[in-house]
Chains A and B, each alone.
Chain A
Amino acid sequence: MRHLLVLVFIMAVTLSCKKDDPEVADIQPTAAFNIENLLTNWSTSIIIPSYEQYQTNVLELQKAASQFKASPSEINLTNVRSAWLSAYMAWQKVAMYEFGPAADITLRSETNIYPTDTAELKDLIKQGSININGANKLDVKGFPALDYLINSGSATKIVRRYTDSILGTNRLNYLEEVVNQIANNAESVNIKWSSNGGNYVNQFNGANGTDAGSSLGQVINALTQHIERHLRDGKLGIPNGNRNFSGTSLPGHVEALYYGNTSIELALENLNAIEVFYNGSNNDGVEGIGLDDYLISLGAEYNEGTLNDAIKAQFAACRNKLNAIPKPLKESLTSNKANVDEAVKELQRLIILFKADIPSATGVLITYQDNDGD
C-alpha cells in the first residue's frame, strides 16, 4: 500500500501548489455563521424584490410605450421618457446579478449594451425589420436603443419622426419591439427566480458552500466582474479613456448618452445597490445578514483594521468621487477629466478588495477573468 500512497500523496501536494494561498481553502465558516441565512436574506429580501420592482417599472414603460404607439403625442412621449428613466434606474439595482437566470439569457447584454449602433438601427427601421434577436443585434436594443429612440431630440422633433408618413409606423413598431423584449426578459428572469415558477431561489439558497459553483462563489464572481467591467469600465473608464485602447475620451460611449444628464446618477444608483447588497439591507433600508457579517464572522483583517471596515470606507470613497464629477458626464470627460480619473481609481481599489481580499478571506475562487490568452 505504501508505494501508491506515497505517489498519491506527492501528487496531492503538487496539486495544492496553485496560485492561490493554500491556507485559503482551509478557512471554514464558523459555527456561528450560516451561509444559507445570508443567501436567503439576499434572495428573498434583496434580489427578488429588486427584480420585481424592475419588472413593475418595465411594465409601466411598456404601458406608456403602448399609449404612445396608439397616439404619438408629446404628452405621451413625456410619459415614455419618464417611465424609461424609472425603469433604467431600477435596472441599476439588478444589473449586477448576472448569474443563474440572468446569465442564462445574458440579461445584461440583452438590456444595456451601449453605445447603440444608430446606423444599423436606422437601417433596420428603414427595412421595416423588427428582428433584433441574436448576438449581433445586441447593440440596437435595450435601454440605450430606447434612449436614442426617445431622447435624441426635442419632444416636437421626436414626435414628428413617429408621425412621419413614410417611416413613422416602422419606428413605432421598432420602439414597441425593443420595449417588449426588455419586458419579456425581465419577466422571464423573474419567473425563473420565483418559488412559484422556476424556483431558482431554492437552488440559490441551497448551494451554501464556498466551493466552485456555490452561490457565494457565483455572487462574488458576478459582483466583482460587474464592478470591474460594467461600473468602472463601462460607465466611466471606457468613455474617459482610462480603459479603452485609444486612451482618448469617447463621449459617445457614456451610458444614457442622449438623455445626457443622468449618466452619473445611473452609476451612483448601481454603486449604491452593490453596497446595499454587500450590507444585506433590504430595499426599505433595513439591515439584514450581508457579506459584511460574514467577513466579520471570519475575522477577516485588512492592514491594521478589519476587511469589512476597509470595504465600507472604499464604497464611501467611490461614492464621494462619483458625486464630485460635474454633470453631464459626457462634458466632464474633457472639462473635468481629473475628477473622472479619480473615480476610476477609487473603483479600482474597490475591485482589488473584491477580487483579492474577499476571495482570500472566504476561500471563494475567482474564475471569471480566465482568459487563455490567445
Chain B
Amino acid sequence: MNKVIFSVLVMSVFVACEKKGCTDETAVNYTEFAKQDDGSCEYAEVISRGIEAPSTYKFERNGASTVSFSGQKERMDMLSEMVAYMKTANTPGTALDEAKMLNMYANENTPFIAAELNASSKQLKDKTASSDPLIIGEIENWIKEIASISDSTEVAKFEGKSGNSGVVQSGDKAYLVNKLGQEPTQIIEKGLMGAVFMHQISYVYLGAEKMNVDNDTIEEGQSYTKMEHHWDEAFGYLFGTVDFPAEGTDRFWGKYANGRNDLLASNTKLMNAFIAGRFAITQLDYAARDAQISIIRMELEKVCAATAIHYLSLAKKEISDDALRNHAISEAWAFLDNLKYAYEGKLTSAQIAEHKKTIGEDFYSISAANLTSVIDDLATTYGFESIKSQL
C-alpha cells in the first residue's frame, strides 16, 4: 500500500480543549489552546507517492476542476429565501402565506424570487431526513404554525407574551413567537440545517452507499468520478463554498462552525478533513478517506452540540429578556434536536427528548438551574467541561 496512511487521526479530537496537549503544529493532534506540551503529539504515517496534497479544496483533472456541488448550493439558497421570507413576519402585522412557504419547501409552483431556484430540479422537502414522513410532517406543522400566528400579530401587536403568540421585541430585535415563546423561524431554519444538510453529509453522502461507488470512471460529460462527486456533495452541504472560511461564514453550518472556531478550531478541523479525505480518494486510499469521514462526522456533531450549549448559555445571560431569551432557546432547541442527525451520535433520541423536557416547552417559564443542568450534561457528554462557561 504505497499510499497515505492515517493511523491516529481520530484520537486528536478528544484532546482539543485542554490547556495541556500537543503544541506541535505539524502533529495531527495539534491543540490550538495547549500551552504546555504533554508529550501526546501523534504524527501521521505518510508514505508519499510524490503528489502534493492541496492546501485548499482544489482538485483538477487535465486542468479542469473536478469539484461540483451546485445542487447543494441551490438548496442552501432555497432555505435562505425561505428564512428571509419568514423573518418578514418579525414586523408585527405581516401575515405569511402558508401555501407559499409549503411551496418553497417543496419547490413547487415557482415560489422563489430567484428564477434559477424556481427552475431548479432540487428541493428541500424530499431530502428531509431521507424523506422521513414524520420529520417532514413536523417541519410542515411549523410552517403552518408560523403562518397562523403571523396572522394574529395584527391583534397581538408587539405583545408576544406568555400565553399569547405575537412579536416580542428587545431594542432593535424582534421575533415572532408562538404562545409558548417558541420561534418557528429558528426551528424551521435550524431544523432543516439538521434534517437536510447535516443528515445528507453524515448519513447520506459519507455513508457506505454513496462511498462504495465507482472511482475509476469519469462520469459522462463531467470531469469527476462518482465517488469524488459524492464527497463534494457532502462538502457542499457544509460550507457551500471551496473558500471557507474566507467565505461561507454567513449562514448555516459555515456560520456556526465559525462561531465555535475560537474554542473548537472547527473551521480548520473540518476543512482539513474534507481536503485530506478528498485527496485520499484521488489516491484510491479508502482507509485514509474513512478516517476523515469519522473526523467530519464527529466534528460536525461537536459543532452542533457546542452551538446548543452556546445558545443555552446565551438564554441564561438574557434570561429576563423575553425576546432574546426565547430566541436563544429556540435556537438551542433546534440544535439540540439536530444531534439526532449525528452519525452514530453520542446521544440517543430518548436522551435528546429528556434534555428538551428538562428545558421545558414553555420558554417563558424556564429556569436557569434547568438550563445549567442541560449545559452540564452536554458538556460532559462532549468533553466540553473546561470550555463550557465560554462557549
Q: Is the CB of A135 within 8 A of B35?
A: no
Q: How far is the CB of A226 from chain B (nearest CB, A)?
A: 11
Q: Is the CB of A15 within 8 A of B268?
A: yes
Known A-B contacts A106-B319, A134-B367; A214 and B19 likewise in contact (beta carbons under 8 Å): yes
Q: Which chain A positions have C-beta within 8 A of B296?
A: none
Q: How far is the CB of A372 from chain B (nearest CB, A)?
A: 6
Interface residue tally for chain A (C-beta within 8 Å): 51
Q: Is the CB of A212 within 8 A of B33?
A: yes
Chain A CB within 8 A of B259 CB: yes
The interface centre, meaning the residue of A8, A18, A100, A138 with most chain B CB atoms within 10 A of its CB, is A8
Q: Which of A291-299, A346-354, A362-370 contacts B (4 or more CB under 8 A)?
A: A362-370
Chain A CB within 8 A of B127 CB: no
- A217 to B35: give the CA distance in the assembly, Å: 15
Q: How far is the CB of B386 from chain A (nearest CB, A)?
A: 4
Known A-B contacts A1-B43, A1-B46, A3-B46; A213 and B272 likewise in contact (beta carbons under 8 Å): no
**Which residue of chain B has the shortest Cβ distance to A371 in the bound complex?**
B314
Q: Is the CB of A28 within 8 A of B35?
A: yes
Q: Is the CB of B259 within 8 A of A370?
A: yes
| Binary per-residue interface labels of chain B (6-37) against chain A in the complex, 1 for a CB within 8 Å, 0 otherwise | 00000000000101000001111010110100
Q: How far is the CB of A249 from chain B (nearest CB, A)?
A: 17
Q: Is the CB of A10 within 8 A of B55?
A: yes
Partner of B52, one of A6, A8, A109, A225: A6
**Which residue of chain B has the shortest Cβ distance to A364 in the bound complex?**
B390
Q: Is the CB of B25 within 8 A of A211?
A: no
The interface centre, meaning the residue of A1, A207, A211, A365 with most chain B CB atoms within 10 A of its CB, is A211
Q: Is the CB of B55 within 8 A of A3?
A: no
Beta-carbon contacts under 8 Å, B31-81 to A: 32-33, 35, 43-46, 48, 51-55
Q: Which chain B positions have C-beta within 8 A of A11?
A: 55, 268, 271-272
Q: Is the CB of B35 within 8 A of A211?
A: yes
Chain B CB within 8 A of A75 CB: no
Chain B CB within 8 A of A70 CB: no
**Which residue of chain B has the shortest Cβ distance to A208 in the bound complex?**
B19
Known A-B contacts A3-B51, A134-B366; A213 and B388 likewise in contact (beta carbons under 8 Å): yes
- A218 to B26: give the CA distance in the assembly, Å: 30
Q: Is the CB of A221 within 8 A of B172?
A: no
Q: How far is the CB of B121 from chain A (nearest CB, A)?
A: 30
Partner of B365, one of A3, A136, A213: A136
Q: Is the CB of B369 within 8 A of A105?
A: yes
The interface centre, meaning the residue of A3, A18, A139 with most chain B CB atoms within 10 A of its CB, is A3
**Which residue of chain B has the shortest Cβ distance to A101 in the bound complex?**
B372
Known A-B contacts A3-B52, A104-B372, A212-B390; A136 and B33 likewise in contact (beta carbons under 8 Å): no
* Other contacts beyond A3-B46, A134-B367, A213-B387: 9, CB < 8 A: A15-B261, A109-B319, A109-B368, A136-B161, A211-B33, A211-B386, A212-B387, A213-B17, A372-B255
Query: Residues on B close to A: CB < 8 A?
Result: 4, 17, 19, 25-28, 30, 32-33, 35, 43-46, 48, 51-55, 161-162, 171-172, 245, 255-256, 259, 261-263, 265, 267-268, 271-272, 275-276, 310, 314, 316-317, 319-320, 322, 325, 331, 363-369, 372, 385-391
